[in-house]
C-alpha cells in the first residue's frame, strides 16, 4: 500500500519504516503546528495511532482541536517549568517561539510577531496526566527551545522509543544540536540518523531498530506526497517570491544596518576598551582611595593620640615652665643675694688685700728696718768688737800695767758683756716675733686666696659672671 507523506522532509515516512509492525501506537508532538500540512503525525493518525499534540499558537491549536478529536490537544508551551511564559506568535507559519532574539530576527526579515502570555508545562507533568503506556516517538520542533523541553521530560519514567528534533537554526543550515544533545545522550539515547533538518535518536533498549535508519526515504518505501502538497508548495513559492521581493527591499536596509552595526561595534569596542581602562583606573583609584581612607583614619587616630600626648606634654611643659620660672625666680633671688654677697666678698677681699698689702708693706718696711738695725747692730758690734778688741789690747796692756786693778776691770767687762748678751737676746726675740707675725700674715693671705679660688669655682660665681661683666661695663671709668 502506498503511503502518503504529509511531513516537510519525509520524517513520517522514516518513522513509519522504523515502526512498521506497531499497531495503533502512541506519539507526542511538541510544536505540532498544522494538523495536516507539514505534519509528522497525520499519517499515523490516519492509520489509527493516537497521541498528544502540544501547540501554543491559538490558530493552529483550534485546527488541531477540530481535526484531531481523538488526540489530546494542549494549548501550552512545553518547557522546564510550570507557570506562564512570554510567547511570540507569528500567524500562518511554524516560526512562533519563546526566544525573543529569534523573534526579533524574524521581524527583521519581514515577519510580524505578537507577544502573548502562554501557559508553561513540563512534559513530565503532561505525561503524568495523559500517558498510560508506551510512547513510540517524541517529535520536537520549538524554534530554539529544545533543551528546555528535554529538561522538562522525565526520561526515566517515560522513554519514547525514538526522539527526533529539529537540529538547525531558523532559515539556515547552521546546526544547533550541540546546545541540547547531551541532555539525550546522557540519559540513554543514541544518535542514529540526520536528514539535514532533524536528528533522530533511539533509546538504548531499542537499538535493534538502528538498521532501519540506514537509508533515507526512497522509492522502496512506496510513498507519495500529500495531494495538497503541490498547492501548498505553490503557495509557499508565491509567498517566497513575495518574501524575496520584500527581502530585496530589506537587503539595502540590512546592508546599511550592517554597516551601522559594524560602526557601532567598532565604537562599542573602543568604548568598551575605554570603559575597561577607566574601570581599571577606577578600581585602582578606589583601591588607592580605600588605602588613603585607611591611612587617613590611621593618621586621624594617630593625630588624636598625638594631640592627646601633645596636650599632656604641653601640660607637663607648662608645669615644668612654672617650676622653671619659680626656680629661675629663686635663682634670680639667689643670684641677687649671691651678687650682693659677691660684692660684699669683693669688698672684703679688697679690704683684705689692702690690709694684706699694707701689712706686707709694713712687714717689708719692718724687715728693711730690721735689716738696717741688724746692719747697724752688726756695724755697732763690729765697732764695739773692734773697740773691745782694742780695749782688750789696751786692757791686756793695762793688765800688765794694771794687774792690781784687773779684778775690778774684769768685773766691769763681764758686766758689760752680760749687758751686750742680753741686748743681743732681746734683738733675736724681736726678730723671731716679727718672723712669726710675717708667717701668720702669709697664712692668712693663703687662706684668703683659697677662699677666693672656691668663690671663683662655685656655680653661683659662674652663673653671675654675665651679671658681673654687665656690671663692670656699666661701672664709670676711673677719672684718674
Q: What is the pLDDT of residues 104-139, one digit of tens each?
A: 776 677 677 778 999 999 999 999 999 999 999 999
For the record, the C-alpha cell of 339 comes out as 651678687
User: To which residue does cell 659662674 refer?
Assistant: 462
pLDDT category of residue 47 using cuts at 50, 70 and 90: very high
Q: What mean pLDDT do residues 431-454 have?
A: 83
Q: CB pairs under 8 A, 24+ apart, for 413-421?
A: 420/384
| Distance, CA of 306 to CA of 300 (rounded, Å) | 9
Domains of the chain with bracketed CATH: 3-226 (3.40.50.150)
pLDDT value, residue 480: 46
C-alpha to C-alpha distance for 316 and 337, rounded to whole angstroms: 30
pLDDT (tens digit, 9 = 90+) per residue, 318-366? 777 787 677 667 767 766 775 777 677 677 767 767 776 777 677 677 7
For 329-341, b where at least 16 C-beta lie within 10 A, e where not — what string? eebeebbeebbee
Each residue of 71-103: pLDDT tens digit? 999 999 999 999 999 988 877 676 777 777 776
Let me know: does 145 contact 97? Beta carbons within 8 Å: yes
Cα 226 to chain centroid, rounded: 75
Q: What is the reported pTM?
A: 0.50
pLDDT tens digits, one per residue of 147-178? 999 999 999 999 999 999 999 988 888 999 99
How far apart are the C-alpha atoms of 25 and 45, rounded to whole Å?
9
Q: CA–CA distance from 159 to each of 72, 120, 132, 156, 163 (Å)?
A: 19, 22, 12, 7, 9
Do residues 398 and 390 lie in contact, with contact meaning Cβ atoms separated by under 8 Å? no
3-class DSSP string for 28-76:
EEECCCCCCCECCCHHHHHCCCEEEEECCCHHHHHHHHHHCCCCEEECC
Amino acid at each position: 500500500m502506498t503511503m502518503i507523506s504529509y511531513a516537510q522532509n519525509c520524517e513520517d515516512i522514516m518513522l513509519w519504516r522504523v515502526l512498521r509492525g506497531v499497531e495503533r501506537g502512541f506519539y507526542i508532538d511538541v510544536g505540532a503546528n498544522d494538523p495536516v500540512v507539514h505534519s509528522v503525525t497525520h499519517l499515523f493518525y490516519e492509520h489509527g495511532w493516537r497521541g498528544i499534540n502540544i501547540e501554543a499558537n491559538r490558530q493552529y491549536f483550534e485546527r488541531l482541536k477540530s481535526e484531531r478529536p481523538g488526540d489530546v490537544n494542549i494549548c501550552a508551551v512545553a518547557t522546564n517549568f510550570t507557570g506562564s511564559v512570554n510567547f511570540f506568535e507569528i500567524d500562518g507559519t511554524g516560526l512562533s517561539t519563546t526566544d525573543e532574539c529569534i523573534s526579533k530576527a524574524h521581524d527583521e526579515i519581514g515577519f510580524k510577531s505578537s507577544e502573548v502570555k502562554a501557559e508553561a508545562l513540563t512534559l513530565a507533568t503532561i505525561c503524568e496526566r495523559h500517558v498510560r503506556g508506551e510512547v513510540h516517538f517524541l517529535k520536537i520542533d520549538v524554534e530554539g527551545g529544545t533543551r528546555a523541553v528535554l529538561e522538562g521530560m522525565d526520561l526515566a519514567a517515560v522513554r519514547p522509543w525514538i526522539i527526533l528534533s529539529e537540529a538547525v537554526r531558523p532559515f539556515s543550515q547552521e546546526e544547533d544540536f550541540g546546545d541540547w544533545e547531551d541532555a539525550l545522550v546522557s540519559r540513554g539515547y543514541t544518535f542514529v540518523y540526520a536528514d539535514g533538518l532533524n536528528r533522530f535518536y533511539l533509546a538504548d533498549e531499542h537499538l535493534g531498530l538502528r538498521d532501519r535508519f540506514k537509508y533515507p526515504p526512497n522509492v522502496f518505501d512506496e510513498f507519495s506526497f500529500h495531494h495538497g502538497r503541490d498547492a501548498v508548495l505553490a503557495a509557499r513559492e508565491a509567498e517566497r517570491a513575495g518574501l524575496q521581493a520584500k527581502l530585496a527591499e530589506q537587503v539595502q536596509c540590512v546592508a546599511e544596518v550592517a554597516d551601522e552595526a559594524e560602526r557601532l561595534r567598532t565604537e562599542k569596542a573602543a568604548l568598551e576598551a575605554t570603559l575597561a581602562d577607566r574601570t581599571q583606573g577606577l578600581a585602582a583609584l578606589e583601591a588607592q582611595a580605600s588605602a588613603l581612607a585607611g591611612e587617613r583614619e590611621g593618621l586621624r587616630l594617630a593625630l588624636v593620640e598625638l594631640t592627646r600626648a601633645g596636650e599632656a606634654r604641653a601640660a607637663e611643659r607648662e608645669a615644668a615652665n612654672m617650676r622653671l620660672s619659680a626656680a629661675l625666680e629663686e635663682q634670680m633671688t639667689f643670684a641677687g643675694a649671691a651678687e650682693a654677697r659677691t660684692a660684699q666678698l669683693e669688698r672684703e677681699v679688697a679690704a683684705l688685700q689692702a690690709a694684706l698689702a699694707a701689712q706686707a708693706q709694713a712687714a717689708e718696711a719692718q724687715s728693711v728696718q730690721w735689716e738696717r738695725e741688724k746692719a747697724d747692730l752688726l756695724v755697732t758690734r763690729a765697732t764695739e768688737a773692734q773697740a773691745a778688741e782694742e780695749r782688750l789690747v789696751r786692757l791686756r796692756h793695762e793688765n800688765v800695767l794694771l794687774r792690781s786693778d784687773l779684778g775690778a776691770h774684769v768685773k766691769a767687762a763681764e758686766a758689760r758683756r752680760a749687758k751686750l748678751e742680753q741686748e743681743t737676746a732681746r734683738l733675736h726675740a724681736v726678730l723671731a716675733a716679727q718672723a712669726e707675725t710675717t708667717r701668720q700674715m702669709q697664712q692668712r693671705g693663703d687662706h684668703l686666696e683659697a677662699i677666693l679660688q672656691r668663690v671663683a669655682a662655685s656655680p653661683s660665681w659662674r652663673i653671675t659672671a654675665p651679671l658681673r661683666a654687665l656690671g663692670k661695663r656699666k661701672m664709670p671709668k676711673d677719672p684718674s
